[in-house]
Structure 1
Amino acid sequence: MNAVDAKITQVLSKLGYTYDNQPNEMHESITSTLYDLARALKSIECIHWSNRIEDLIGALKMYIIFYDRRQQLMNLGDNYFLNAERTIIKGVKLGSVACEVLGLICDLLSSKDSYNFFSAFVLKQSPSSYSLMEIFRLNEPNLDNRLSVYIAYNSVINVLMKAVQKAKPTLGFAESKNVQNYPATYTAFSMTMAFALEDILNTLIAVIDQQLPRIDCNAVCEVLVQVAESCPFHRLHSSVFKCSVDFLDRQLQHRPLHIQRRHLLKLAIICVSQNNKFVGSDLGALFKPVLLSRNNGTSDPSGTCGELDKPIQVSHIIVKSISFLNYWMTAAVLGSENIKTSNELVLLDLELITSLTKNYFHSFKHDSLMCLKSSIYILSILPIIMSKFAEPRNFSVQVKEKELFDMKIAVVCQALQFMVELAIAVSRYADESELVDENFITEFVELWDLFFDLAPELMDVEVMSVRKGVADCFAAFGSGLFERIPLERQRFCIVSVLGWCRDDRHTVRAKGGRCIAHLVGQRLLAEDEHFLLDALDVMEESLNNGDLATRGSFAWCLGNFTESLLLYHRDRFPPNFSDKDFYRLCKLCFDCAQDKAKIRYNAHRALGNLLGWVPLHLLSDSSDHRVVDQSVHVLLKQIGSGNDFKARWNASHAMGMILQNEQLLKTHSHLLGPVLKHMARVVYKSENYKERNQCVFTLTTIKTRSLYGNLYFAAWQGILQSLNVPDDLRPTEMTQVEKLQMEVCLGVCHLISLLELEDLRELESVIENSVDILRDIFTTRQVIPERIHHISSAREHLQELLTANNCSYEDRETLLLYPAQSTIKPTALQMDPIYV
């Protein structure tokens, strides 16, 4: 008996069921148990079952997952729904169990089954008259029972959203905010979903309105926001928002406005952001209860609520929202509220402004400067917020103070997260804009300068999330923004980060590694040879002596370091780098390539960058040549073997980079034969089509015919055999096979461009069984414009070869390979296919 059977047997024994250790009897036994539970929901026996329900659910999960009895559980779901009303009335615990079973169904179902499930049980298409809606249509007068409905609400919403997300592929969903781009099936599905959830919301609000003294309105607001964030269609956002505004408007008459208004503002921006660039006056007017003043009678700080009676731009609403957040946050920090309330309000404000910065600024590129200008002034209040976290190392965390301490931690981390997102947004503006407003950049840098003085103190906090936030702030600057920082602050950044990388505490060193990984990509620093040598020193120390987290950070740094060498020093190796420095770097890559998985990924990337570019004068010592040989062999060992397909793909990609270095191949010609033979075998034997795709690319990166030697035809055979795939492919595999066919098309063109006259006869025997499939690929596969030169080059070379041999184009069956009808994938400006 396996472990699953043993556990199920133990649970069933507790429930009074036995069987003779036969799988079929066990299946019947557990099925009987489940149906008994469903029947028990109708009677007082619910109380008897509630004491053992957790054991039963545990057995259910193992049974369903191990024996793949999803359909059986789906059928059982109808019994749950038939008794859902009584279930929730009799006890909140059993109602939550029913929701948990439904969530388990959604986890296990495929996209198609999930859609069927949703249609049957949510959209009232079940043979029975019951559905999820029935759970909320209770006619019982007892308000305690209605309160049970509210408690179960969140679980049901999670089930609905899970089903919707799983059903998206079946509905042909496309990630587009343009309603016209949605398929009809998805639109109809979403509209039905909108009405269903609107029905739930109305019922829920009716319940809560009768329970004012007992309901936590903040929790209700959070549920409403969760619904809006998860909803798949703009129609639902509008309906959710209208229901929520009506409800919260009534609540605000009875309660302080501090927290509710913030939740409502978050809900409003989520709803508005899903619409077009301009918002109609009906939705815009709904901002009035959000942006009106507090109960203290003060007026709208920007005096712009009246503008919301007419259509306005979404970006303007975001700017107005930011101004209110700044106003509210300042009042919370400097106001008279107690510390706990102040921290709670500030945390809500910071969460919302961070969400705006991260999710919405880039949706309005033309208005991004306006949005950014409204946000940077919040930087002036952040040092005050974080200074309230004064000397946290000496903070005595007593049991009664722990909640306050955790809230302070959360506030500081959220403030740092906002700074990261803002720095990323400003960096993108500085790097991508054709005309940069230098006055704005200067103002941002001056406001950010306040953070630099606070950073050392925050980095000493013995809380990993705070250290991560500080490190991310240093790493968030793009090249254009970093170059505009005053020189003394640039030095401060570099000295601080290098200091963290040498810290005795592993967590600090790991965060320092994250920063270095970003800084080595900065153009200013990547061209600084002294900084590069310092970075190499700290990488070597941490990769040799650090813990797993530290090695992981610096392995990522190693990959970025080699990419910077490739990008900024391709034509000239840094003069201060000696062959010993190259050996150190190559040895680090080789050692990391034999470390844990995530470290190996970056080591493979680094080896490909380094050996695909290294100048020959750095290979002056026998130890240099030896480490190159060892590195190639460690990559070769990874390709085509093991269960870590990401490592296999990375190693194959790295090998493709190395095979582009002709000078290295000539000096290490003894490696070329084993590499080509191995790749030619893996390219058709691998069961992972993404790896096959990469192997085709790797086999065709060699630039001259002479380097292939006698293995030129082995490359042909391997590439052609890679097209042998089974008929019963999964959808994801079909996508990879299509990419493989395009790569084969380009690979064949590359090999044709290297073809010599004496190769024709032998080549004809190699491809004689593949002519039909090649003809099909060349006439159906699309090639992106950036790589169309492969086809043109192959055509021209083939024409020259045949002309020189006085051979007509139609004379040879081999020339069916000729890619005369391959199409180019159209770009945004070029909608019609171009034929070459």
Structure 2
Amino acid sequence: MQSNTVLKNMKMLSTSQIERAEFDDRILSILDMMTNVDIEDKMVVECIGELLNIEFPKSNAENDPRIKKFLSWLCQILWKNEFAEVLAIRVISKLIKYNSKYYIWTLDNVFCSQSPIYERILEDKTDVYLLSILECIDLIFDDLKMDAMTDEQKQSIRSVFTLLIRMQYSSNLNSLENPKIILYSLILLNKYISTCKKDIENHISELMGISLGFMQFGLNTKDISVVCPKLITPSYYVNNLSDEHETDEPNIHQKVGGKLAKQKRHRGLKTKDIVNTVFETTNNKLGELDLEMTNINNMEKTQYEAFKNEISSKIRLASITLFGEITLSVKRCILYTYWQSIFPYDGVDNVYIRGDILFVCQNDDSSKCRSAILNVCSDVLLKLKSLYSQAEFKDRSAAFLPFSHMLGLSIITTYKSLLEIIDNEKSLPVLIQALKCLAALAEVTPFAKLESDIVFKFLNTVKNLVNHSDFTIQISAISVLEVLLMDTEMPSEIAEALGTSNECIKRSATNENIVNIGSAKKFNMEFLFNRAKNVSYKYNFESSWLILKIISNLENNPIQDSSLCRKIKTPCSLRIKSLHILTAMAIHFELFLKDNLEKITAVMEDTIHDGQVEVRLCGSKFLDACVYQMNLFLQNNCNNDNICSFKCFWIRILSIITNQMSREKESTAVKIALCDAISNIGPVIFENLPESIRITILSFLSGLSCDSTEDVLVRATVVRALSVFVTFPSMRVNLVFIENTAELILRLAGEGNMIVRIKVIWSMGNVSDALLENITDNANERISDEILWKLIQYSTQACNDCDKVRCNAVRTLGNLLRLLTEKHFQHISERTVIKSAITKLIDGIRSSGTAKVKWNSCYAVGNVLQNERIFLYSSRHKDLTWHAPLFSALCHVIYNHPNYKVKINATTALIHIRKREHFGEHYSNIWSAVLDAIEQSNNLINFYEYNHRDQLQEQMCFLICHVIKLATLQDITILSRILLEKLEVLKNTWIRVLRRLIPGKAAPLLSCSTHLNDLLKSSSELSSEQKNAILLIVDAIPTSY
């Protein structure tokens, strides 16, 4: 018999001593002989069983046709011989493990859509059979390349995916005592959805049920008996999906499509890292299944319990990983529909609370599982931010619970669970992860709409951890508070819990002894300076416990060491985190920093001179944020007390900054941040500083910008700071300083770095603004022609740069062209430069760049059109013609551009033209474009432009008034013909604008009708056509409404 011959050959092979190559060849010969054995032969089971004890040839023999022939024979046995199918699938998995070429073959033949495996596996099969099937699937998933697969193969792989899901809901499988089947199937689900995310949406209800269900596997709690996954249905409150989810048993032929949005990871472990952890802890080879099952059966009771607990924790970890991958991959709108299953609210009947993932964390003995679930929880909370923004809670009894209150209760319940976890957690790594989760929850919580005492409990817990003995816990606790401080609108409950008094919270912004910024130079400077030197910091309230703790973290603490007294510093990472939260506190300058400037100055001196570059950088950035907010605060609270207090701070901190900038060699970022801090000093403080200090600042910055050995980014930041000073009241009238600043800027004009180019052109814009404010007929008070032409030429070239440069280049060009006088038009070379500059402005209006470029280009053109000399000399010289393209571009923008702010600036630019002859032949085109634009403005398409529509219509009415007043009788006739079709549109819009405007501002519109009536009365030689034209226009612009 053929089967006996096969058995005899296998036994002889097992006892022979031959080389590997010959051994492999004989094995392949035996496999070839086995294909001739009838699949119904009673000896088939024994023949296949013997193969499990033989080592198969490795991948060097995968091209041998005998392997494929043998696999096809095994496939027939798998389908037709139920007694040998278990051994057949085990041999298939063992053989393809060493021959990766046959992974796809296995998919096509063993797991095709018509395969009986999909039904048989759900029957009462042995564990070895199921594990062998899972091993085959695992090998296929390891080499999963969906892009290279045919449609049939993709359908087969989706059938396998659906099979893995159905296995979890099978009652037969849940009755098995070997939990490794559950573990391996969860790992395979993780592998699949991490590669094929688009199939998640069609099975999200089933996958959610599996992941949430098996999170509780093996937990020793009386609330959980037998773990069985249950289908999770979406909430009907927020179910906005186009198609309903399937709630029956999954269909293996179900298809899915669509692109999934990617979520940026915010904090904590990556999902991939957790998956790898699961795989590393389950690195058991399925090729030795008999030995493995024997070992499990022979275990003593204590050993078996330890083994079971280990497997249970791995199952929970795999389910957490699966849940994290699902929530990370699906769209936010889909995730919103499952919020009740993830973070249930503590309702009246408390029916949802047992499904809370944080409840699982409270009862899990494995620190890995607790840490993983907290990490996933953080990501899910951040993804639910838009949903939770609708939450509110008012502690009142009501018959109906609104959806927003359900969300509010869910948030409060989550806080309670997290705080309980934090209070009871002994593992420091898990505690750190819990604090990160708490920070994520704080970030998504709308505290202003929650009337609950949870804020005080939450902050009291965090306050205790801020003083924890382990500095890593302190850092995580401070991170939670940092999230709260990043919100510009801080609720009074949080401010009070952070230690600020009610007096400070409720203090109004009423100011005494208001100082006018523009006239600050008129104050008695000596008196003010002497007062500042003698001022003492009197706190209106007790300092916040938080600011005191943060300052203590940054101070050098003295300790006694034997007979010596020395100072120690807190760990570097804690100091950096303390500086981060100080930067967040700067947003609430009045609450935390205003009355602690003396202490802050002391710690800043140590921080900015610190030996660690990271600490110096964070300290410099905090200082920049602090003085920026100080300047904003002073704009609304400009009284003598604040000026004296802040001036005292600046006098001390300036010497610290300049000293560090002079000796800083390691980091240019530190110098840049410190220079930015100086630029944020603000006009009020700068004007009140002693003249000697002001001169010192300007001299220091000017010298630094001239230092060719200095980094170009630092020099660009320095000239930017100087250009800020140019806008201050006492400096913008100092033409010498303005010229010096312009020269320093031009020295950097040829640099290639984009950041440098942006800063240089922005600085030029400030210089041109200052020059524009100093326009005078006295030629001695004007900037030198050489510098002016260099500024114009560089700005013209900068108009060819990226949009970030162009938006400031066109602004600068508009200002500079307005400065031109008669002498600048005498030579053809100069006129060529002027025409090129105007052409660049027109290109800025016409270009496909950002709206900001167009907005600034229109604004710049408005400045150019105010210079009548440009009109005068362009009419004299044919080489300076620009009217047609400019007016065409402005008309096109007024009518066609979707951004209303761009339209407003284009309209305003035309209003600056003072004489009729300057419009030339484009008068009627402008009139027609404005009328069309008014009609279009009444048909709002983009809702985001709604806030600007009223201003746009006002400007257009002002332009119509301006055009009418400049028009000749012949123009009025032409204008009336164009108006005839838009009469009612203009009339209705005109009335609406008049109703909105205050009487003083509406005067130009009201006077327009008066002008036309006077024209009608004064001219006795008017033709009937002209009279009718005037009357038509008068009818369109009524003076009463």
TM-score clears 0.5: yes
Conserved in 1, the CA contact under 8 Å of 2:436 and 2:480?
A: no
In 2, the alpha carbon distance for the partners of 1:732 and 1:75 equals: 35
**Is contact 2:586-2:626 (8 Å) kept?**
yes
Per-residue CA shift, 1:634-659, capped at 9, x if unaligned? 12123223254432332222222212
2:784 equivalent in structure 1? 578
Partner of 1:707: 918
- Report the alpha carbon displacement of residue 525 of structure 1 after superposing the two structures with TM: 2.9
User: Which residues of 2 match residues 419-498 of structure 1 at below 5 A?
Assistant: 419-428=623-632, 433=637, 435-437=639-641, 439-457=644-662, 459-461=664-666, 463-498=667-702
Say which is worse superposed, 425-434 or 113-122, in terms of deviation: 113-122
Q: 2:357 aligns with which of 120, 131, 135?
A: 135
C-alpha distance in 2, partners of 1:750/1:119?
62
SS in 2 for 1:722: helix
Paired with 2:792 and 2:957, the residues of 1 have a C-alpha distance of 35
Cα deviation, residue 562, structure 1? 0.8
- Give the deviation of 1:469 after TM superposition: 1.0
| Separation of aligned partners in 2, 1:627 and 1:747 | 30
Residues 1:55 and 2:195 aligned together: yes
Kindly indicate whether the alpha-carbon contact (under 8 Å) linking 1:590 and 1:630 is maintained by their aligned counterparts in 2: yes
Tell me which residue corresponds to 1:259: 474
Equivalenced residues, count: 724
Q: 1:275 aligns with which of 465, 482, 491?
A: 491
The aligned residue for residue 153 of structure 1 is 377
Task: Sort the Cα spacing of 1:787 and 1:101 in 2 relative to 1 into closer, same or farther, 3 A.
Answer: farther
The structure-2 alpha-carbon separation of the partners of 1:746 and 1:495, relative to structure 1 and needing over 3 Å to count, comes to same
Q: What is aligned with 1:780?
A: 992
Equivalent residue, structure 1, for 2:570: 341
Aligned twin of 2:750: 544
Distance 2:556 2:365 in 1: 36
**Equivalences for residues 372-771 of structure 1 within 5 A:** 372-389=594-611, 408-428=612-632, 433=637, 435-437=639-641, 439-457=644-662, 459-461=664-666, 463-502=667-706, 503-504=708-709, 505-569=711-775, 575=781, 577-669=783-875, 670-686=881-897, 690-723=901-934, 725=936, 729-732=941-944, 740-771=952-983
Q: Please, which moves more after superposition, 467-476 or 327-336?
A: 327-336
Give the 3 Å change call, closer, same or farther, for CA 479–39 of structure 1 in structure 2: farther
- Structure-1 separation of matches of 2:467 and 2:850: 59
Q: Give the CA deviation at 1:603.
A: 0.3
Counterparts of 1:732 and 1:32, CA distance in 2: 47
Contact kept, 8 Å, 1:513 with 1:550, in 2: the verdict is: no
Q: 1: distance between equivalents of 2:627 and 2:891?
A: 47
| Greater radius of gyration (CA) | 2
Which runs of 5 or more residues in structure 1 are unaligned? 1-10, 61-71, 172-178, 181-186, 292-304, 365-369, 390-407, 822-834
Identify the range of structure 1 (253-262 vs 135-144) with the bigger mean alpha-carbon deviation. 253-262
Confirm or deny that 1:815 pairs with 2:1019: no
Offset of residue 156 of structure 1: 1.5
The root-mean-square deviation of aligned C-alpha atoms, in Å, is 4.5
2 CA distance for matches of 1:252 and 1:579?
A: 62
What amino acid does structure 2 have at the position aligned with 1:605?
R
Corresponding residue for residue 197 of structure 1: 411
Aligned partners of 2:785 and 2:322: how far apart in 1? Answer: 66
Q: Deviations over 1:414-450 (max 9, x none)?
A: 3222322333344446555553235424422332244
Residues 761 and 809 in structure 2, CA contact (< 8 A), matched pair in contact too? yes
CA distance in 2, matches of 1:770, 1:385: 68
In the TM superposition, residue 373 of structure 1 has moved relative to its aligned partner by 3.6
1:790-801 equivalence runs, <5 A: 790-801=1004-1015
Compute the displacement of 1:244 (Å).
1.9
Q: Residue 577 of structure 1 aligns to a residue in which SS?
A: coil
Q: 1:35 to 1:488 in 2, by over 3 A?
A: farther
- 1 CA distance for matches of 2:659 and 2:455? 40
Output the amino acid matched with 1:259: Q
Structure 1 pair 131–413 and aligned structure 2 pair: CA distance change class (3 A): farther
TM-score normalised over the length of structure 1: 0.74
Tell me, what secondary structure is at the counterpart of 1:768?
helix
Query: 1:520, CA displacement in angstroms?
Result: 2.5
Q: Does 1:82 align with 2:209?
A: yes
1:393 aligns with none
Q: Distance between the aligned counterparts of 2:436 and 2:144, measured in 1?
A: 39
* Counterpart Cα distance in 1 of 2:164 and 2:616: 49
Shift of the alpha carbon at 1:767? Answer: 1.4
Distance 1:14 1:709 in 2: 74
Alpha-carbon shift at residue 760 of structure 1 (Å): 2.6
**Aligned-residue offset at 1:632:** 0.6
In terms of mean alpha carbon deviation, does 446-455 or 12-21 score higher?
Answer: 12-21
Cα deviations by residue, 1:780-808 (Å, 9 ceiling, x for unpaired): 35756585344234343234333435899
Contact 2:579/2:618 (8 A) holds in 1: yes
Q: Which runs of 5+ in 2 are unaligned?
A: 1-139, 170-181, 217-314, 395-400, 508-539, 561-565, 876-880, 1021-1025
Q: Deviation at 1:274?
A: 2.9
- Structure 2: how far apart are the matches of 1:236 and 1:458? 51
CA distance in 2, matches of 1:26, 1:775: 69
TM-score by length of structure 2 reads: 0.61
- Specify whether residues 150 and 338 from structure 1 end up closer, same or farther in structure 2 by C-alpha distance, changes over 3 A only: farther
State the one-letter code of the partner of 1:202. K
Structure 2: distance between partners of 1:98 and 1:674:
61
- The Cα offsets for residues 283-311 of structure 1, whole Å up to 9 and x where unpaired, read as 84x56xxx7xxxxxxxxxxxxx9xx7x88
Question: Residue 397 of structure 1 corresponds to which residue in structure 2?
Answer: none
For residue 615 of structure 1, report the CA deviation from its aligned partner.
3.6
Distance 2:631 2:432 in 1: 36
Question: Counterparts in 2 of 1:320-335, with a 5 A limit?
Answer: 320-321=544-545, 324-325=548-549, 328-329=552-553, 331-334=555-558
Deviation at 1:703, TM superposition (A): 2.3
User: In percent, how many aligned pairs have the same letter?
Assistant: 17
Measure the CA separation in 2 of the matches of 1:252 and 1:430: 32
* Partners of 1:724 and 1:506 in 2: CA distance: 52
Whether contact under 8 Å (1:471, 1:514) holds in the other structure is no
Deviates more, 1:749-758 or 1:25-34: 25-34
Aligned-partner Cα distance in 2 for 1:712–1:683: 14
SS at match of 2:615: helix
Q: Tell whether the 8 Å contact from 2:556 to 2:569 is kept in structure 1 after alignment.
A: no
Code of the aligned partner of 1:275: P
- One-letter amino acid of the counterpart of residue 148, structure 1: A
The Cα shift of 1:136 comes to 2.8
Give the secondary structure class of the aligned counterpart of 1:600.
helix
CA distance in 2, matches of 1:378, 1:456: 19
Distance 1:147 1:380, change over 3 A: closer
Q: Which residue of 2 aligns with 1:212?
A: 426
Q: Which digits, 9 at most, give the CA deviation of each residue in 1:196-245, with x for residues without a partner? A: 12211222233344431344545544543443344224244855423424
Q: Hey, what's the Cα distance between the residues in 2 that align with 1:46 and 1:701?
A: 72
Report the CA distance between 1:705 and its aligned residue.
2.1
Question: Deviation digits for residues 387-438 of structure 1, max 9, x if unmatched?
Answer: 232xxxxxxxxxxxxxxxxxx3332223222322333344446555553235
The verdict on how the C-alpha distance between 1:733 and 1:262 changes in structure 2, with shifts beyond 3 A counting, is: closer
CA deviations 1:105-148 (Å, max 9, x no partner) are 556x6xxx9987879987789xxx98997333439953224443
C-alpha distance in 2 between matches for 1:191 and 1:559: 52
Cα distance change, pair 682–256 in 1 and its aligned pair in 2 (3 A): closer
Counterpart CA distance in 1 for 2:317 and 2:1004 is: 66
Range moving further from structure 2, 686-695 or 597-606 = 686-695
- State the SS of the aligned residue for 2:907: helix
Shift of 1:777: 2.0
Cα distance in 2 for residues equivalent to 1:732 and 1:56: 37
| Cα distance change of structure 1 residues 55 and 443 upon mapping to structure 2, 3 Å threshold | same
Q: CA deviation at 1:676?
A: 1.5
Give the match for residue 584 of structure 2. 355
